Amino acid sequence: MTFRAHSLLDTTPRWLSITLISTSSALLISGVGFVLNLFDPFNITPFTLLLHLVWAIVVSSWVLNLKVKLPAEKRALLAIGVAVAVGSIWGAVQQWAAYLQAGIVNDITLVAGAVAMDAVGGLVVYILYHLNILGRNMGSSGP
């Protein structure tokens, strides 16, 4: 049995390149944070807020690449929802891990900031998707 990517993906080459660039950028930022010891998996820090933003962009852009039986406009909204849901789960795991490890929880402002970064990351992808994909499709579907 061979794996065929085109059976899972429904995207344009331009959007796939945007997705791959954002993925490599997120990996680079995460790696730099890990090397510089900025990444703490159990606490929400300002660097973690940056990670929530860049990984929300990656998650939502990959959701837009998946073959889903939804109109393109609704698929973009689904991508925002998935980014916020994944980021919220990540934040909740960080909260519980910090509580179980040290008996403390993260500052509620940073937790709210993490959720906001997830939403902003999804909105960035929503805007890019509208400018690069939907805008071109609407312009080419004239009479």
pLDDT tens digits, residue range 24-52? 999 999 999 999 988 877 778 889 899 99
- Which two structure tokens, joined as six digits, stand for 98? 């910090």
pLDDT < 50 positions in the chain: 1, 3, 141-143
Which pTM was predicted?
0.81
The pLDDT, as a whole number, for residue 138 is 56
Quote the CA–CA distance of 118 and 124 in Å, as a whole number: 10
pLDDT score of 5: 52
pLDDT score, position 143: 43
* C-alpha torsion 17→21→24→26, nearest 10: -130
Q: Where are the domains of the chain?
A: 12-136
